[in-house]
Chains A and B, each alone.
Chain A
Amino acid sequence: MNRKLLSLALLGSTILGGAAAADVTLTIESWRNDDLVLWQDTIIPAFEAANPGIKVKFTPSAPAEYNAVLNSKLDAGSAGDLITCRPFDASLALYDGGHLADISNLEGMANFSDVAKSAWQTDDASASFCMPMASVIHGFIYNKEAFAELDIKVPETEAEFFAALETIKADGNYIPMAMGTNDQWEAATMGYNNIGPNYWKGEEGRLALIAGDQKLTDAQWVAPYEALAKWGEYLGDGYEAQTYPDSQNIFTLGRAAIYPAGSWEITGFNAQADFEMGAFKAPVQNAGDTCYISDHTDIALGMNAASPNAEAAQTFLNWMGTSEFAGIYANALPGFFSLSNHEVAMEDPLAQEFVSWRGECESTIRSTYQILSRGTPNLENETWGASVAAIKGSKSGADLGMELQSGLASWYAPHK
């Protein structure tokens, strides 16, 4: 008797539950557990208000485990409807494996430039499988008080840049530039790929390198190493053993004047530094040259090909192409800039400074990320070592170009 009652009650609850769940619930897989509050309090309510009938759940996992967790969930068929995409090969492998749906034809896609979409496309750009969310921009953050004290104008050209460094060094109160080579990646990411696009003319050079029309031994690819070689004397004493957190601390403590940066530093620096900061973009060779900035695609959202709620998922992806989403996301996370073509007003002055360069300069992404780091030796990892060697002066730019070129040519057909 009791058991019958219980089963009746259970049965009743499923019916009731079913009625309540007429709403579609979308689940988002992500590695951005830092952003949980932002999604729950801001992004999801905004979406749900605009799209009644669709509920969204944000279920992040730890960044280091994300790829492994996601792969096993996809294989087991238990992954969420929307999947946060890492740039380039990691997501491409998911698309090739049939886990990500082709969303090239979604109307939201029209709001993104080709560069923005490049990180989540097949090599021939025929299919796009993730809606771009945000990028990080490279440049230099500087201590405004130090610049005012030493009466330095914000440098526009390379000559002005080195003149500024020289002035700071001669004064001796500040370390001219806060960067170390211990962790290696800063030298490549904030060094080579920060100043490089001005030499290889952004996308033009990057695509020519992928196509095999330019080589890493060409002047435009070697010159950034020669510029980096001049950085060594302006980094602090013992920069060889200086780590990334060391550099961040040196700058935010006000001991250094310039910090070669990525825009993701903005939030942390705003919290740490008690002086006013400004930003300038990578210097061009001659005044008036077209400038190029590294506007690196970092995060996107794709759709699980096996999702039972494809229609609702597409609605969400299209909403991500709107200026509403762009505005919410960019302002909640200053330093992660919307990749869409919408004008987004940023409240953070430093972030606004960074994003304003998009209007003046051509955008490109890091030269080593697409296709070129698929083989062994891995061009990105090799570039880390090469940039460090350039800064330390242990190898000349020409030698580094030759080494990298022979490594790339050993496995990449267009360069053979």
Chain B
Amino acid sequence: MKNSGIKWHVIVFLAPAVLVYTAIMIFPLFNTLRLALYTEVDQVRQFVGLENFRTLFGDPYWSGQFWNALGNNFWFFFIHMIVQNPIGIALAAILSHPRLRFAALYRTAIFVPTILSFVIVGFAWKLILSPIWGITPDMLKALGLKWLYAPYLGKEEYALTTLALISVWQFVGIPMMLIYAALLSIPEEVLEAGEVDGITGFASFWKIKLPLILPSIGIISILTFVGNFNAFDLIYTTQGALAGPDFSTDILGTFMYRTFFGFQLQLGDPHMGSAIASGMFGIILIGVCIYLFGIQTRLRRYQF
């Protein structure tokens, strides 16, 4: 009995998670990959192998849209990396300062947008930036900076950056919280030992705290990457499925949605849509692998 080999309790405890995860994550994922290999001719589904991918990358109409969306996606990610994460780290460093008053209030206030719905965030910012009813033009005018104002969401050159910054505003609380937790876990003794050696203030942040929170920064980067390449909601709620103006805010998520479900007179094409979704999956997989094998293994961890 004791040596039966099968550890039933392990199976029983794992089963619910495995079943749920398989049913709502793994099965749809593989089914999407499978669907990408088919097409529909005269209402009959036919296996076509990699034909959809050949269209996606070979046909100038499709590949143009794909590369445009991918490029926009990288820009979206880039803005998050250079704006959201440094600000998140800075906020966490300030919040973890022992003599800061009302830290809990700031922490909550900065984190609150994260739990708001995309629809609310999108709508609120659309109103704030609106050239007609918005407060932005008037506020800039009061500061004598009226020349800075443009209908940001309607101009090809600003729309994507504006949306990325709105998304940063919404999600800056997440890196802040993660880094804040990492900073709090640094033992006082380490900092005090540094102080004895004359490392205080900014130097203690750069030389002691930052190296210790690097693994958290790595995790945040990969979360940002996955989140940004799966992004869809904010663009869809503010700019619609056509991701205007002139597809300048089109990212892989909106491109996939438009293709899969169709739009206006365009009928949906689940097979092409699946091909795009498979492409997104591949890109995210590659990105995560680069991080896991290229970066994470080289990060030094410290145990206290």
Contact = CB atoms under 8 A, between A and B. Distances in A.
Contacts of B245: 181-182, 184, 240, 388, 392
Interface string A360-404: 000000001100010011101100110011001010000000000
B151 A239 contact: yes
Contact of A242 (B151, B246, B247): B151
Contacts of A238: 130-132, 137, 150-151, 154
Contact of A410 (B61, B133, B247): B61
A368 B267 CA distance: 15
Interface centre among A181, A184, A241, A407 (most CB of B within 10 A): A241
A252 to B, nearest CB: 13
Interface in B241-276: 242, 244-247, 263-267, 269
A185 B245 CA distance: 12
Interface residues of B, number: 28
Interface centre among B239, B242, B266 (most CB of A within 10 A): B266
Contacts of B132: 236, 238, 242, 246, 249-250
B130 A246 contact: yes
Contact of A377 (B61, B126, B129, B264): B61
Contact of B240 (A184, A377, A385): A184
B242 A384 contact: yes
Contacts of B129: 241
B267 A385 contact: no
A151 interface: no
Contacts of A249: 132
Nearest to A389: B246
A156 interface: no
Contact of B264 (A185, A240, A242, A246): A185
Interface residues of A, number: 35
B152 interface: yes
Contacts of A377: 61
A381 B246 contact: no
Interface string B136-171: 010000000000001111111000000000000000
A376 B268 CA distance: 11
Nearest to A386: B246
Interface in A234-258: 236-243, 246, 249-250
B287 to A, nearest CB: 29
A183 interface: yes
Contact of A380 (B154, B246, B265): B265
A172 B270 CA distance: 51
Nearest to A377: B61
A102 interface: no
A385 B242 CA distance: 9
B246 A237 contact: no
A239 B266 contact: no
Interface string A116-143: 0000000000000000000000000000
A380 B264 contact: yes
A407 B247 CA distance: 16
A89 interface: yes
A241 B266 contact: no
A89 B131 contact: no
A369 B242 CA distance: 18
* Best-surrounded residue of B137, B152, B265 (most CB of chain A within 10 A): B265
Contact of B265 (A180, A368, A388): A368
A341 B266 CA distance: 32
Given A89-B265, A246-B132, A240 B240 contact: no
Nearest to B132: A246
Nearest to A184: B244
Interface string B111-145: 00000000000000010011111000100000000
Nearest to B133: A246
Contacts of B126: 243
Contact of A394 (B239, B244, B246, B265): B246
Contact of A369 (B152, B154, B247, B265): B265
A241 B246 contact: no
Interface in A81-123: 88-89
A407 B133 CA distance: 38
Given A373-B265, A376-B61, A381-B266, A183 B154 contact: no
A240 B265 contact: no
Contacts of B244: 181-184, 385, 388
Nearest to B244: A184
B242 A241 contact: no
Contact of B154 (A242, A373, A381, A389): A242
Contacts of B266: 373, 376, 378, 380-381
Contacts of A89: 265, 267
A179 B297 CA distance: 56
Given A242-B154, A388-B245, A388-B246, A381 B264 contact: yes
B151 A241 contact: yes
A92 to B, nearest CB: 12
Contact of B156 (A237, A246, A394): A394
A274 B259 CA distance: 43
A394 B247 CA distance: 13
Interface string A169-197: 00000000000111111000000000000
15 contacts: A89-B267, A180-B154, A182-B239, A183-B244, A239-B151, A240-B245, A241-B151, A241-B152, A242-B130, A242-B131, A243-B126, A250-B132, A381-B242, A381-B264, A385-B247
Chain A to chain B: the 3 pairs with minimum beta-carbon distance, closest first: A238-B131, A240-B154, A241-B154
Interface of B: 61, 126, 129-133, 137, 150-156, 239-240, 242, 244-247, 263-267, 269
Given A238-B151, A240-B245, 16 more contacts: A89-B267, A237-B151, A238-B132, A241-B131, A242-B130, A242-B132, A246-B130, A369-B265, A373-B266, A376-B269, A381-B242, A381-B263, A385-B242, A388-B245, A388-B246, A394-B246
